Amino acid sequence: MKTAALTKAILPIAMCVPLLVPAHAQITGNPDPDSLAAELESAPISTNAVADPWEGFNRKMFAINNGLDGALFVPAAKAYRAVTHKKQRKGIRNFLANLGTPITLANDILQGEFGRAGKTASRFVVNSTIGFGGMGDPAERMGIDQHSEDFGQTLAVWGVSSGPYLVLPFFGPSTLRDGFGRAVDMGTDPAIWIRTDAAAYFRYSTTGMTLLSAREPLIESLADIEADSLDYYASIRSFYLQSRQREITNGRTSFDDLPDIGDFEEFDDLE
């Protein structure tokens, strides 16, 4: 009964913002919000200047997103925390991460990261079977670590420059390249194209759960950064761009270490 009631409570929120995530809950593609929270807490608060030619627009959109976050998503995330156990929230995050595995697998392959693709496929098979549909994470205990990839990262590996920094409505921090990559990833979701009541219910429900499960672990971390920052916008921008660079290089210190997947001269004009 609790699960049914929680789903009914989440559904109206999801229907208001279908296919979106809270403005600051996913400021990187980190697949583990708990890890992201720890990273946020230890991140230096920086207001160093970066290339941000659309800063006027970005600051206005950031303020709108931040207002929506404080008025809607933070209270909803606190309510979600209050009615669920930590283990339940972890299981939901595992399930949602498992749903996104096919996108990660496709982008592993597109990037020529065949070793990582093998691990991604193994994680999906293990967690979808003995992991009770992804609610558990036995693959992690087997030493098959989780990671995420998206088409924005793939474009970066192919040599497409990031373009200007951009704050998107609801989505929050991004770049022109990553915003396009996000749209491509969303377009590959079969639930978008299936026009049935069941598909719509699944889409809205998983969107709502994504909203809450992504925002809940970051309640305190983002509040502390906002309170301690001289410029909250600049701090989030700096953190996003640095984190995004680490994700694109998969922890490597140089793009020279990335796999050779051939020339993509057709992208040269985009730089």
CA distance 1 to 253: 50
Distance set, CA 117 to CA 86, 114, 155, 160 (Å): 30, 5, 17, 22
Q: How far is CA 55 from the centre of its chain?
A: 23
Does the pLDDT at position 95 exceed 90? yes
Does the pLDDT at position 29 exceed 50? no
Residues 6+ apart with CB under 8 A from 161: 177, 270, 271
Does the pLDDT at position 2 exceed 60? no
Does the pLDDT at position 4 exceed 50? no
Residue 89: predicted pLDDT:
95
Nearest Cα neighbor of 33 from 124, 75, 118, 96 is 96
Mean pLDDT across the stretch 107-124?
96
Look up residue 98 and give its DSSP letter. Answer: H
Which helix (H) or strand (E) element contains residue 21? none
Does the pLDDT at position 15 exceed 80? no
Task: Measure the N-to-C terminal CA separation of the chain; round to a whole number of Å.
Answer: 53
Residues 6+ apart with CB under 8 A from 96: 206, 209, 210, 213
Q: Which tokens sit at 260?
A: 């050779």
Look up residue 216 and give its DSSP letter. Answer: G
Residue 151: predicted pLDDT:
96
Report residue 201's pLDDT band, with 50, 70 and 90 as the boundaries: confident
Does the pLDDT at position 211 exceed 80? yes
Look up residue 132 and give its DSSP letter. Answer: T
Helix 33-42 × helix 219-228 angle, to 10°:
20
Does the pLDDT at position 158 exceed 90? yes
Mean pLDDT across the stretch 32-43?
56
Say whether pTM exceeds 0.85: no
Mean pLDDT across the stretch 65-94?
95
Amino acid identity for residue 4 in this structure: A
Does the pLDDT at position 264 exceed 70? no
Residues 6+ apart with CB under 8 A from 67: none
Report residue 204's pLDDT band, with 50, 70 and 90 as the boundaries: confident
Is residue 194 classed as helix, strand or coil in its secondary structure?
coil
Amino acid identity for residue 208 in this structure: G
CA distance 213 to 80: 8
Q: Which residue has the higher pLDDT, 241 or 265?
A: 241
Residue 171: predicted pLDDT:
87
Which helix (H) or strand (E) element contains residue 199? helix 197-215
Does the pLDDT at position 145 exceed 50? yes
Average pLDDT, the chain: 80
Residue 41: predicted pLDDT:
53
Mean pLDDT across the stretch 23-51?
51
Q: Which residue has the higher pLDDT, 29 or 125?
A: 125
Other residues' Cβ atoms within 10 Å of the Cβ of residue 65: 21
Residue 194: predicted pLDDT:
85
Mean pLDDT across the stretch 80-103?
94
CA distance 238 to 129: 40
Residue 220: predicted pLDDT:
94
Distance set, CA 156 to CA 85, 136, 146, 162 (Å): 38, 32, 21, 7
For the ranges 40-44, 107-111, 231-235, the lowest mean pLDDT is seen at 40-44
